[in-house]
Amino acid sequence: MRLIRFTLGLTLALASLTSFPVAAHSPQLSQSTRDRLIARAEQVTGDRFTVATATPKGVTVFAVKAPSPETLHSIDQGFTDLFDVARRHGYQRRLSFRDYVVFIARADRTKDSAGQYSPDIAVPAGQYAGSDYDKGGYIYAAGMVLAYNPSAFVFAEHEREFSRIANVVRYEGEHIVLYYNDRALYEKTADHSRGGGHPILQ
C-alpha cells in the first residue's frame, strides 16, 4: 500500500482540541497549552514525549528521544515543500514554520504488509472501522493531525529513508493549511476513509 493512503486528517473526534488558548502565529506555547497538547499526543500514541527541541527553521518538536539532524532537516524540508505549493494556490495563512508543533512517536511497525520500510503508528480505527485499513479496531498511519490551534500532528520516528518524513510532514500539513485557507476543499479531503489521498495540492 502507498504511504499516501495512511496519512490521516482530523476526523477522529478531535474537534474539542482545536481551540487551545494560544495566540495565532505565536512561536511560544503557554505551559497549559503545552501540557494539554502533550497529554493528547500521549493518549493517542501511548508514548511519553520527554524531549523538546526545534528544527533549524523553528518548528517546535516533541519526541520520545532526541531526533537526529536528518530528521529535523526532513521536517523543515516537508514544510518548505508544503508552503511552496500552498503559495502557488494563493494561500496565505499558516505558512510559517513557527506555526507548527510536531510530535515524533515510537513506530508501532516498521514494515507494511508488503514488507516495505514504513514506520507507522497504530491509531483507533474510528470511521475507518470495517474498511481495508481496519486491523482489528485500529489502523496503521504514517501521521495524524492532533490539533489545529496550535497546529500539531504526530508521525513515527524513522531510522532511514528520511525523505519519507518530508512527505508525511507535507501531507499532514496539507490538512491544516486547507483548514485555514480553503474550508470547502478541507471538508472534501479530510476523511480518507471515503477514498482519496495525498498530495492533495499539486
Rounded Cα gap, residues 167 and 78, in angstroms: 6
Tens-digit pLDDT profile for residues 13-29? 333 333 333 333 334 68
Mean pLDDT of 77-100: 96
CA distances (Å), origin 105, targets 48, 53, 73, 123: 8, 14, 17, 12
Q: How many CB atoms lie within 10 A of CB 23?
A: 10
pLDDT at 77 over 80: yes
Domain boundaries along the sequence of the chain: 3-194
Ranking 8-12, 24-28, 43-47 by mean pLDDT, the lowest is: 8-12
Look at residue 149 and tell me whether its pLDDT is greater than 80. yes
pLDDT in tens, 116-148: 888 888 876 555 555 565 465 567 778 889 999
Question: Which residues have a Cβ under 8 Å from the Cβ of 168 and sit 6 or more positions away?
Answer: 3, 7, 78, 142, 143, 155
Q: What is the mean pLDDT of residues 92-107?
A: 95
The edge-to-edge listing of strands for the beta sheet with 138-141 is: 109-111, 117-124, 138-141
Of 99, 122, 103, the C-alpha closest to 176 is 99
pLDDT at 39: 94
Q: What is the mean pLDDT of residues 86-113?
A: 92
Q: Which three cell numbers stand for residue 143?
A: 501521521
